[in-house]
Amino acid sequence: MKKKVFFICVSTILLAGLVWLIWGNITVGLSEYEIYESDLPAAFDGYRIAHVSDLHNSGLWEKTIVKLQACQPDIICITGDLIDCKKTDVDTALAFAAEAVRIAPCYYITGNHEINVTAAVREELIRGLKTLGVTVLMDDQILLEKDGQSIALVGHKWGNSDAVGELTDFDGYRILLSHRPECFDDYAAGEYDLVLTGHAHGGQVRLPWIGGLYAPGQGIFPEYDSGVYTEGRTDMVVSRGIGNSGFPIRFSNRPEVIVVTLRVDTFNSWSYNR
C-alpha cells in the first residue's frame, strides 16, 4: 500500500512538472515594469512601450500579437532576431509585423540572426518591414513627439557598440534599442536613459535563486539575462524573448512580452517591477 501511494505521489509530481514545462514553452507571458526618470518630459508620463525580442520565426507569434493587443502600448519596439538564420522564414516575420503595426507604431533593429543570413534575405526582410510601415533604425534615431515635447528613440544595428553614444546628439531623454545586453557598459557610457535589449533568451534554462544558465555573448551564468539593470543614469531592460534558436526547450523561462511604462520621477525613486 505504501509503495502504491509513493508511486502515485511521484507520478503526480512528474506529470505536474511535465505539464508546467510544456505550458512554459507554448504560452506567452507579460512582464510589466515602471521606470521612473527625473528628466522625462511630463507629456510622456504614463507612456507605454511594448518590447518584443528574439521571435526567431516562432509559432508563438500569433499569441504574441494577442498579448500586444491587450497591452494597448503607445509604441512597439522589436529588438532583433525577428528571423532565425538556421530556419529563416521571412513570411512569418512579416506576418507578425503586419499585425503588430495595426496595434501601435513599430520600431525595429537588427540582431545577429539578421546579419547572419544572405544580403538578399536581409534586404527582403527590411524592405518588407518598411513596406508594412515599420520604422527600421540602423544606427540612427527618430524623435517621438507628444504634446509639443520630444524624446529620442535610437536604434543600434548589430555590430560594434563602442561608439553607440555618438548615434545621437539629442539633448533630452534618450531611449536606445540594441540587441546585446552584454554591452551595458557602453550604453551607460553613452548616457542613455533607457535601453531595451534581448539576445540572452533569459539564459534558456533558469535556476531558482540563480537565474539563467547560459546566454550567447555572456557564457555560463550570464550577468544580464532578464529584467531591469541600472548603471549610473541608465536603466537597461532585458527581454527573455519569444522564440528559440539551437536549443529548442526553455526551462522555467516562459516567453514574454514586456511593457515598460515611463513615469516622471519627482522623488528620485528606483526603477521597480510591478
The string of pLDDT tens digits covering residues 1-25 is 667 665 666 667 777 777 777 888 9
Task: Give the pLDDT confidence of 222-247 residue by residue, as tens digits.
Answer: 999 999 999 999 999 999 999 998 88
* Type of residue found at 255: P
Specify the pLDDT at position 15. 73
Strand pairing partners for 33? 260, 273
Name the least confident of 65-69, 108-112, 138-142, 263-267: 263-267
Quote the CA–CA distance of 190 and 234 in Å, as a whole number: 9
Specify the pLDDT at position 33. 97
Quote the CA–CA distance of 68 and 258 in Å, as a whole number: 9
pLDDT: which is higher, 221 or 14? 221
Specify the pLDDT at position 103. 98
Specify the pLDDT at position 35. 96
Closest Cα partner for 213 from 175, 253, 171? 253
Report the predicted TM-score, pTM, of the whole model to 2 decimal places.
0.94
Q: What does pLDDT average to over the chain? A: 92
Task: Give the pLDDT confidence of 162-174 residue by residue, as tens digits.
Answer: 899 999 999 999 9
Task: Give the pLDDT confidence of 24-54 residue by residue, as tens digits.
Answer: 899 999 999 999 998 999 999 999 999 999 9
Quote the CA–CA distance of 14 and 23 in Å, as a whole number: 14
Strand pairing partners for 142? 153
Task: Give the pLDDT confidence of 106-131 residue by residue, as tens digits.
Answer: 999 999 999 999 999 999 999 999 99
Beta strands 48-52; 75-79: pairing state: parallel
Q: Which three cell numbers stand for residue 212?
A: 539563467
Compute the residue count for the chain. 274
Mean pLDDT, residues 212-218 taken together = 95
